Amino acid sequence: MKVDYDPRTDTLTVVLKEDTAVAESDEEKPGIILDFDVAGDLVSLEILDASRRVSQASKVEFKVAV
């Protein structure tokens, strides 16, 4: 999994499946784009205007439950 924030475009992208081709993209809500593979599984999501939709778009915290 990979998280990328581009301050130039103010876009936050969360890639759930790397090296998987996107077959279809849907704008679920304005500014929220979901990408799916050919099987219909979610591959990634993109948040446009991230600095106003996400607190601290340039900071990511990752936790694994034990």
What is the overall mean pLDDT for the chain? 92
In this predicted structure, the answer to whether residue 61 has a pLDDT above a threshold of 90 is no
Q: What's the burial of 43, exposed, middle or buried (CB within 10 Å: 0-12/13-18/19+)?
A: buried
Q: Which helix (H) or strand (E) holds 50?
A: helix 50-53
pTM of the predicted protein model: 0.84
3-state secondary structure of 20: coil
Q: What is the pLDDT of residue 54?
A: 86
